[in-house]
Amino acid sequence: MIEWLTQKNLVEYEAAVYKMEQRVAAIRGEQASEVVWMLEHPSLYTAGTSAKDADLLDARFPVYKSGRGGEHTYHGPGQRVAYVLLDLKKRQGNKPDIRGYIRLLEEWIIRTLADFGVKGERREGRVGIWVDMQAYGGSKGEEAKIAAIGVRIRRWVTYHGVAINLNPDLLHYGGIVPCGICEHGVTSLHDLGLKDVDMVALDRALKKNFRSIFSS
């Protein structure tokens, strides 16, 4: 049975990583259940294992090196971060499928956005979930990222996870080249005009869709 934790106060990044690592060890040792931890961070940048120094344009917030995959990203208030700690070996057997797991995370976000009438899409060669901005007054071919994905796996237990933009300050992305992609922007549910959606509604949709996709 998966435990759901929702943190109301902002959680410092290093404290979150420490807590995840402790829980990963406990899950691996069968001393704790799998968990989805929902939270928000204070404004900060993280650099994944593929991050390039040149993509940090303006270190206006603390920068943390992260063991997750991916490049630079921003976290801050108004963004729902969901850290997903699952035992892939128990779920998938002796040949865990990491790519398959990431596809499930993508599908989780896509279905959640669809609950609010937003069409989130995958893009070949680009991590995360994207929105065609032409439907929102943008030019033809204009796209923006609405959700990021970055995972790490230790002894087949997953951690880190996804981040969905509800209403963060999008100007804060200006300090980095988000995920190393300079030709496309970022957006949020509120930026798309869905200002009546709050974190409670987003969390409700995330929980519902997670259970249908991961059967828990």
> What mean pLDDT comes out for the span 91-95?
82
Distance CA 45, CA 41 (A): 10
Residue 24 domain-assigned (yes or no): yes
Contact in structure between 107 and 159 (CB atoms under 8 Å):
no
Burial 134-154 (b: 16+ CB within 10 A, else e): eeeeeeeeebbbbbbbbbbbe
* pLDDT range class, residue 182, cuts 50, 70, 90: low
> What mean pLDDT comes out for the span 50-76?
90
Residue 163 domain-assigned (yes or no): yes
Residue 49 domain-assigned (yes or no): yes
Domain range for 157 is: 3-116+147-181+196-214
Domain count, the chain: 1
Average pLDDT, the chain: 93
Residue 123 domain-assigned (yes or no): no
Higher pLDDT, 115 or 94: 115
Residue with tokens 């790490």, as numbered in its chain: 152
Of 11-25, 87-101, 112-126, the range with the lowest mean pLDDT is 87-101
Residue 77 domain-assigned (yes or no): yes
pLDDT tens digits, 35-45: 999 999 999 99
pLDDT tens digits, 73-91: 999 999 999 999 999 999 9
**Residue 179 appears among annotated catalytic residues:** yes
Q: Give residue 174's Cα distance to chain centre.
A: 19
Residue 174 domain-assigned (yes or no): yes
CATH number for the domain that contains residue 22: 3.30.930.10
Residue 155 domain-assigned (yes or no): yes
This prediction has a pTM of: 0.95
Name the CA radius of gyration of the chain, rounded.
Answer: 16
Residue 7 domain-assigned (yes or no): yes
Residue of 179, 189, 197, 206 marked catalytic: 179
